[in-house]
Amino acid sequence: MSEVKRKGQAAKLASYSLVSISTEEKNEALALISEQLIIDQMSILTENQKDLEEGKGRGLSEAVLDRIMLNEKRIQDMAHAINLLIELKDPIGETIETIEKENGLFIKKSRVPIGVIGMIYEARPNVTIDAATLALKTGNAVVLRGSSSAKFSNMALVHSIHNALAKSKVPVDAVQLIEDTRRETAKELFQLNEYLDVLIPRGGKNLIETVVRESTVPVIETGAGNCHMYIDETADQSMAENIVLNAKLQRPSVCNAIEKIIIHEKWFEKHGKQLVEKLQENSVDIYGDETVTHEFKSISAASEEDWAIEYLGLTVAIKIVSTLYEAIQHINTYGTKHSEAIITSNEEHAAIFLNNVDAAAVYHNASTRFTDGFEFGYGAEIGISTQKLHARGPMGLHALTSSKFMIYGNGQVRS
């Protein structure tokens, strides 16, 4: 039996015992993991060093190396995040719905774990801890498959988790790491319907597209954000400037930062120059449609491709429209259904935009940067779903649960 099959099966078996483990027992296990990470920090850092050296040898960029890098502070942050997770309410066992039938049948819809969650992710060892602890909090087993560039770090972290679980009521098998990081093992996970209930990719566009295309296991698509800010005719000038600068600059490399600005022609006539100057003062590269490039010789023309791309950096493209509907249509054509915003003083326009734009999160007069499980108050985030089934938008603990109908009778039969 291959490593993937063997570990998938072990996780499945563990998931069956996890349904009988209490909230207290799960929290005890999490506390043990938090402590163990601190106890094991020297060995974790030693293993992390191997990844970093191998990465340097292979010429990985500074940005990627920074994502892989662990230090005492980062390990302490992980341990601290687990302590916060312990405080969160356990969603498992909640009654979602009850139905009493005339024949005396009592139907209860309860919240239960999903079962086994497959996580496939890129070179961020913190996802190993994140995914494992969020899964355990919600009574799920997890099969982790990280990147080869963080192989030694991931093995050390999972070793630490296993040490902790061995002292707890949670079976050690509940957390599995696929150590063989060749492409073949990812492909095997894509088809592991027998043991995986869901597969969640976390990483760049290519990873997510591959998983969606190749996986027969149900996938929760997370990630890509080609987010737009639409500045309507009646938008307050300073509010619009503030929000645009925040949504573009506060952290340009993340999925909820804006990539495009759509501006009503009348607002653009009055305030376009100042907005463009502010963006340029902040080193933002600007592409524009014909109206914009005609007005500003310093701005290059946006290509068709620009409207669809997620720059993830200090770049933005600006398009001028003559109606709200043109803005909505553009967003529904090129958006990735992540986060979209309108700035306007016209309440009716706001309502039309919020209703008609097809995205997980739609904003009136606020920055798209708020699309985040912690900002929404969920206390945890497994990712941001851009699909419409199961979970949409920031996914907290509830997104890692399923439901089950429990039906209590005293001999009822169907007639």
Binding site for its own copies (CB under 8 A): 16, 19-20, 99, 101, 105, 107, 109, 114-115, 193, 197-198, 212-213, 216, 218-221, 236, 239, 242-243, 246-247, 250, 332, 354-356, 358-367, 369-371, 375-377, 387-390, 392-394, 402-415
Residues in Cβ contact with 40 at an 8 Å cutoff, skipping those fewer than 6 apart? 156, 159, 160, 163
Distance in Å, CB of 169 to its own copies, minimum? 16
Give bridge partners of residue 251 from the DSSP assignment: none
Do 180 and 148 touch, CB atoms closer than 8 A? no
Distance in Å, CB of 214 to its own copies, minimum? 8
Do 219 and 388 touch, CB atoms closer than 8 A? no
Q: Which is nearer to its own copies, 206 or 415 (CB)?
A: 415
Q: Which is nearer to its own copies, 183 or 414 (CB)?
A: 414
The enclosing H or E element of 125 equals helix 125-137
Residues in Cβ contact with 294 at an 8 Å cutoff, skipping those fewer than 6 apart? none
DSSP code for 121: E
Distance in Å, CB of 92 to its own copies, minimum? 11
Do 125 and 154 touch, CB atoms closer than 8 A? yes
Distance in Å, CB of 175 to its own copies, minimum? 19
Distance in Å, CB of 302 to its own copies, minimum? 22
Helix (H, G, I), strand (E, B) or coil at 225: coil
Q: Which is nearer to its own copies, 178 or 391 (CB)?
A: 391
Distance in Å, CB of 323 to its own copies, minimum? 15
Give the phi and the psi of residue 127 in degrees, each rounded to 5: -65, -30
Distance in Å, CB of 410 to its own copies, minimum? 5
Q: Which is nearer to its own copies, 233 or 340 (CB)?
A: 340
Rounded Cα distance, 199 and 201, in Å: 7
**What number of other Cβ atoms are within 10 A of residue 162's Cβ?**
17
Structure tokens at 88: 């969160």
Do 362 and 346 touch, CB atoms closer than 8 A? no
Q: Which is nearer to its own copies, 181 or 402 (CB)?
A: 402
Q: Which is nearer to its own copies, 58 or 398 (CB)?
A: 398
Span between the terminal Cα atoms of the chain, in Å: 48
